[in-house]
Structure 1
Amino acid sequence: MKEHHKINYLELPAKDLEATRAFFKAVFGWQFVDYGPDYSCFTNGGMDGGFYRADASMSVASGSLLMVLYSQDLIATQNAVEQAGGRISQPIFTFPGGRRFHFIDPSENEYAVWSE
C-alpha cells in the first residue's frame, strides 16, 4: 500500500546487473522484471525497488545508506550468501537488539542481515 510521505521504492546501483539479479533471486527469493538492458525491478523484497546499471557501488565507509535485511536463521542466510557468490565483509556480531553480519554482493554493494 502506498502511504503519503513514506518510503515507497529504492533504486540501487549494480555494476553487474545480471549477476546481482541472480544473486538476490538465489539467496532471498526476490523476483525481477527487466525494463530494458540497464534496469531491473525487484519485488518480494519487503519493499519494491530496482537495480540500475552503474559503475558506482554502495558502502558504509563511503557514506552510503545500508540496506538491512531480516533473517529468521542468520547462519543459514550467511551460508546462502556465500554459496551464491557474496563476500562476508563483517562476520556475525552482536549489537543492541540482536546479531547481524555484513556482505558484499556481486556488484560490490554492502548490505547487512540481522536477527534477534
Structure 2
Amino acid sequence: MLGTEFRTGSPVWIDLGSPDTDAAAAFYGAVFGWRFASAGPEAGGYGFFQKDGRTVAGLGPLTEQGAASSWMTYFRTEDAGATAREVVSAGGTVRAEPMTMGEATMAQFTDPQGAQFAVLHAPGGLEKASEDDTLVWVELHVADPAAAIGFYRGLFGWRTEEMRTPGMTYQVLSIRDGDQEEGSFGGVAPLRAGQDDAGQDDARWVPYFAVADADAVAAAVRGNGGTVVVPPANVPDVGRVAWLADPAQAVFAVLRPDPRQAA
C-alpha cells in the first residue's frame, strides 16, 4: 500500500506542470478541496497542494518549450546521478540532469517507450497518501509491459505480481523490500491505441487519487471545466475508477477503493 515511509523505488512525490498555475490551483481546490501554498518568491512560481495542512502534491509552471501540461511521478532513489546513468544504459533518455536544491536532488527521464518519470533523493516527500483526496496508486500504460517491467526493475528492483482482469493481464508493482502486498504501490497495463474517447493513448504514468465518491468527483471535474476521459466504472476487486483531465488536459484518475480490499 502506498504510504509515506519511503524506500528505494517508492513513489515519493508527484507534481503538476501547468500553463496557468492560478487556474490549476482553483480547479483542484474545487475538485479535491486542496489549498495551494507558494514555496516563496525564489521558487519560480512553484508551490504545494495541501490537504488539512499536509502536502499532497506540487504545482509549478511549465518550463520546457512546447511542453504539455501533465502530472509527473517521482520515485525515490539513493543516487540520482547513478540512476541517470542506468536510464541511459537501458535505452531511456535524460530530460533534466540531476540537480540539487537544498537537501534534495532530482532528475527527470523518459523511458524507452516514451513515458516520462522522475527520481528524487530527499529527507521526506508527500505528507499524506492513501487517504481521500491523496495519491493512492500510480499506473504505467505502455505498448510492451514486459519490456517496461524489465527497464524499471533494473533501476529500482521492483517486484511484480500478475493479476487477471477482464480483457487483459495486469501487473501489480511493489518495492523490493518487505512484504509484497504491503509494498505494492502501482501497476502496469498494456497500452491500446485509441483506448478512450479522448484519444489518451500515449505511454504515460497516471496518478490515482483516492476519493469517497468517484461519480461526484467526475461531476465536479466536468463542472469546473475539466473532462471525463473514462466515465466512472466498477473494477472487480479494486473499486470504482474514473479517468479525468483538468482544463489544461493533464490526465489523472480517481479510485473509490472496494471496501472489501481494506478489510
Give the TM-score band, short-chain normalised. Answer: 0.7 to 0.9
Shift of 1:94: 2.7
Across the aligned residues of Structure 1 and Structure 2, the Cα RMSD in angstroms comes to 2.5
* Equivalent-residue separation in structure 2 for 1:108 and 1:63 (angstroms): 15
Give the counterpart letter for 2:34 in structure 1.
W
The change in CA–CA distance for 1:48 and 1:70 in structure 2 (over 3 A counts) is closer
Task: Determine if the alignment matches structure 1 residue 56 to structure 2 residue 68.
Answer: yes
SS across alignment from 1:68: strand
* Equivalent-residue separation in structure 2 for 1:44 and 1:65 (angstroms): 23
Contact 1:8 1:47 in 2 (8 A): no
Q: After superposition, where does 1:64-103 map in structure 2 within 5 Å?
A: 64-96=204-236, 97-103=238-244
Give the counterpart letter for 2:230 in structure 1.
Q
Per mean C-alpha deviation after superposition, the further-off stretch among 102-111 and 55-64 is 55-64
Greater relative contact order (CA < 8 Å, ≥ 6 in sequence):
1
> Sequence identity of aligned pairs in percent?
26
TM-score (norm 1): 0.81
Partner residue in 1 for 2:37: 33
Partner residue in 2 for 1:11: 15
Partner residue in 2 for 1:44: 51
SS across alignment from 1:61: coil
Contact 1:87 1:103 in 2 (8 A): yes
TM-score (norm 2): 0.39
Whose Rg is larger? 2
Partner residue in 1 for 2:104: none
Structure 1 residue ranges without an equivalent (≥5): none
Task: Determine if the alignment matches structure 1 residue 20 to structure 2 residue 24.
Answer: yes
Partner residue in 1 for 2:255: 114
Give the counterpart letter for 1:95 in structure 2.
V
Q: Larger strand proportion, structure 1 or 2?
A: 2
* Equivalent-residue separation in structure 2 for 1:24 and 1:100 (angstroms): 18
Q: 2:245 aligns with which of 85, 93, 104?
A: 104
The change in CA–CA distance for 1:92 and 1:4 in structure 2 (over 3 A counts) is closer
Give the counterpart letter for 1:43 in structure 2.
Q
Shift of 1:113: 1.1
Give the counterpart letter for 2:213 in structure 1.
D
Shift of 1:114: 1.5
SS across alignment from 1:93: strand
Could you give the per-residue CA deviations for residues 40-94 of structure 1, whole angstroms, max 9, x where no partner exists?
Answer: 2112188632112113233863322111112222222111111122111111123
Structure 2 residue ranges without an equivalent (≥5): 72-199, 259-263
